[in-house]
Amino acid sequence: MKIHPRPLAATVLLLAGTLILSRPPALGQTTSPKDVTPADYLRWQTEYKNWGRWGANDQHGTTNLITPAKVLSASKLVKAGIVVSLAHAVPQTTDADVPPSAVFHRITNGIYPTGSTDTYQVSYHGKGMAHMDAFCHFWGADGKMYNGYVALENLSAETGCRKDNVMAWRDGIVTRAVLYDMPQLKGVEWIEPGTPIKRADLEAWEKKSGVKAGPGDIILLYVGRWKLRAAKGPQTDGKVAGYYADVIPWIKERQPAFIGHDVNIDWNPRPGWGAAEGIPINPIHQAVLNWMGVNIIENLDLEQAVETARRLKRYEFMLTFGPIPVEGGTGSPLNPLAVF
């Protein structure tokens, strides 16, 4: 059963002899007098590009900010020796929210006197399982991938992506992760699907928790996707409590190596943010993967990490993972490990 938000105490202000009651904005609202518009988004796609920042041949993007010093710094966050997986068990059968394309096929090839073998087959993109996207997963309307590589010159059915593929991360990732616990911020069990997570929400959490993301970090946005599914069953309407467009300048400023989420990172539905306004299908994907060279990890199961972080009252920790090193791959399934 869903726990409804606890009443927030009103703040009493005395202005010019007038008593005014004010409340903090609800999740998804903003105190900004001007919300962002599609016109802002279209301007940012030029202003926020990191193309050429690390050289004409770069394929790592902001992962370049995970320096040896950054790795050593992240290792110092290990205090309790607790290791927690951030991956949900992969779906092996269809369900209301698991179409056939999202099923992880595990085929037992044979059972022998002293052992067995099996074959795995999976289409991992989508909302079925934890995975990362390589930069060649998305490119802009100009036909160019991150750092200006021409998509059709670097892609084929036989070779996959020759540039911007998952092999850029084959040596793995070890860095600091910062957990943004939206249900904890608002005193609820989960955030309702369809709620846009705005910059003001993320900054409110930083003020409450005392930690914030910086260069080379991994931002983990928690909305309670798996807790909601356990309580109410599969969600089939396509609604997502995800990053809203006004988070894009914040991501540019913070320079994370990855942004993560327990669903798809893009908020949905997006009225007024469609093809008619010149906006791509997944605007946050496009902004981070294509313009900035910030990578994505999605569909994480953050429940154990959140439980541990709340118990320890510590929302930063070391995170490590590595993709399957598939030459030409557009991404990879993952089992990221949080180490507290």
Identify whether 8 is part of a domain.
no
CB atoms within 10 A of CB 180: 26
Buried b (16+ CB within 10 A) or exposed e, 42-67: eebbeebbbbeebeeebbbbbbbbbe
> Within 13 Å of residue 59, how many CA atoms lie on the same side as its CB?
20
The CA distance from 319 to 83, in Å, is 9
The number of beta carbons lying within 10 Å of the beta carbon of residue 157 is: 5
Residue 36 confidence (pLDDT):
96
pLDDT in tens, 292-310: 999 999 999 999 999 999 9
205 and 101 share a domain? no
Shared-domain flag, residues 225 and 267? yes
The answer to the question of residue 288 being in a domain is yes
Tens-binned pLDDT, residue by residue, of the chain (340 aa): 444 444 443 333 333 333 333 444 567 654 444 799 999 999 999 999 999 999 999 999 999 999 999 999 999 999 999 999 999 999 999 998 888 988 999 999 999 999 999 999 999 999 989 999 999 999 999 999 999 999 999 999 999 999 999 999 999 999 999 999 999 999 999 999 999 999 999 999 999 999 999 999 999 999 999 999 999 999 999 999 999 999 999 999 999 999 999 999 999 999 999 999 999 999 999 999 999 999 999 999 999 999 999 999 999 999 999 999 999 999 999 999 999 9
**pTM to 2 decimal places:** 0.90
**DSSP calls for 112-139:** ETTEEEEEEE---TTTTS-EEE-GGG--
Within-domain flag for 1: no
Domain count, the chain: 2
Provide the 10 A C-beta neighbour count for residue 207. 9
Residues 165 and 208 in one domain: yes
CA distance 51 to 46: 10
User: In terms of DSSP H, where are the helices of the chain?
Assistant: 38-47, 68-75, 182-186, 199-209, 225-232, 248-254, 283-285, 303-312
Residue 311: give the domain boundaries: 38-88+130-339
Q: Are 38 and 273 in contact (CB under 8 A)?
A: yes
State both tokens at 266.
């893009």
In terms of domains, do 161 and 113 share one?
Answer: no
Task: State pLDDT tens for residues 237-294.
Answer: 999 999 999 999 999 999 999 999 999 999 999 999 999 999 999 999 999 999 999 9
The DSSP symbol for 281 reads S
Note whether 153 and 139 are same-domain residues.
yes
For the chain, the distance separating the N- and C-terminal CA atoms, rounded to the nearest angstrom, is 30
CATH number at residue 320: 3.50.30
Strands 131-133 and 331-333: antiparallel
The rounded distance, in Å, linking the Cα atoms of 295 and 292 is 9
9 belongs to a structural domain: no
Structure tokens at 106: 């595990």
- Percent pLDDT > 70 in the chain is 90
Residue 12 has a pLDDT of: 34
15: in domain: no
32 located within any domain: no
Rounded CA gap, 165 and 168, in Å? 6
Residues 118 and 196 in one domain: no
What pLDDT does 27 receive?
Answer: 72
Distance CA 109, CA 119 (A): 7
Residue 44 lies in a domain: yes
140 falls within a domain:
yes
The SS3 assignment for 209 reads helix
Please choose, from the candidates 23, 11, 29, the residue with its C-alpha nearest in 3D space to the C-alpha of residue 191. Answer: 29
122 shares its domain with 269: no
